[in-house]
């Protein structure tokens, strides 16, 4: 990756025209070919950019002083006529870094982890709850958990990080199919999530589906009750 800090002005031409007046900015040239221009504000979003595939050409333009001229980068899109012209009036820093192969983002607390933890601690979902199978397959996809409750009735559990109406609809479809199977029915549903939106809770309860809010840290054994004030 190449990082350039420079006083520059930027002009974008293509489906629309955009102009960034002269100011100090960070220009990021990534190994995938993308070019991004950042200011010191605006969070993560660049002020302007060119996505790959594109080509970058470095040259000079006259500044009218008779000197060697001003450095100008021309970034051209491969599949369109879009161009990004970056005029570098003063380069304050120009460095390159080999970042290596990125292993990718690993999220903690995603649905797969919640499913694994709830499969190990099924009593979190109700007293006497036991696991029959994870990823129980139906004709339209797998139910996260198939369990048996204390009365030995089947329970389908759908797990989300944030429970919304779509998750309730998904579980409803699973229940409709599973209740056609004489070896399973009657099957009731549990909608489990770290957070359940009020509209989703109302819809679930209207359809006879129980809602369970799960504490991820507690499931992992991180949340120590002895450290709580209340």
If you average pLDDT over residues 193-206, what whole number do you get?
95
Tell the residue number behind the tokens 């070896």, with chain if given.
Answer: 183
Structure confidence at residue 170 (pLDDT): 94
Structure confidence at residue 58 (pLDDT): 95
**Local confidence band at 107 (pLDDT 50, 70, 90 cut-offs):** low
In this predicted structure, the answer to whether residue 93 has a pLDDT above a threshold of 90 is yes
The structural domains of the chain, with segments of one domain joined by +, span 2-96, 111-225
As a CATH number, domain 111-225 is 3.40.1350.10
Model-level pTM? 0.53
Express each pLDDT in 72-88 by its tens digit: 999 999 999 999 999 99
What is the third-level CATH fold of 2-96? Protein Yojf; Chain: A; (2.70.180)
In this predicted structure, the answer to whether residue 230 has a pLDDT above a threshold of 50 is no
């Amino acid at each position: 990756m190449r990082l350039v800090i420079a006083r520059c002005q930027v002009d974008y031409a293509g489906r629309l025209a955009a102009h960034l007046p002269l100011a100090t900015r960070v220009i990021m040239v990534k190994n995938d070919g993308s070019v991004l221009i950042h200011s010191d504000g605006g969070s993560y979003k660049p002020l302007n950019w060119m996505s790959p595939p594109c080509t970058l050409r470095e040259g000079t333009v006259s500044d009218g002083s008779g000197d060697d001229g001003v450095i100008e980068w021309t970034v051209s899109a491969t599949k369109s006529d879009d161009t990004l012209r970056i005029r570098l009036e003063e380069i304050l820093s120009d460095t390159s870094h080999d970042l290596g192969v990125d292993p990718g983002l690993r999220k903690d607390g995603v649905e797969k982890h919640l499913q694994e933890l709830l499969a190990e601690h099924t009593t979190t979902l109700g007293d006497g709850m036991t696991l029959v199978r994870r990823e129980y397959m139906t004709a339209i996809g797998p139910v996260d958990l198939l369990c048996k409750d204390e009365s030995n009735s089947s329970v389908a559990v759908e797990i989300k990080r944030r429970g919304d109406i779509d998750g309730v609809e998904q579980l409803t479809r699973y229940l409709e199919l599973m209740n056609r199977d004489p070896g399973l029915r009657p099957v009731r549903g549990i909608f489990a999530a770290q957070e359940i939106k009020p509209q989703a809770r109302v819809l679930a309860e209207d359809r006879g589906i129980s809602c369970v809010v799960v504490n991820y840290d507690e499931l992992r054994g991180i949340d120590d009750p002895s450290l709580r004030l209340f």
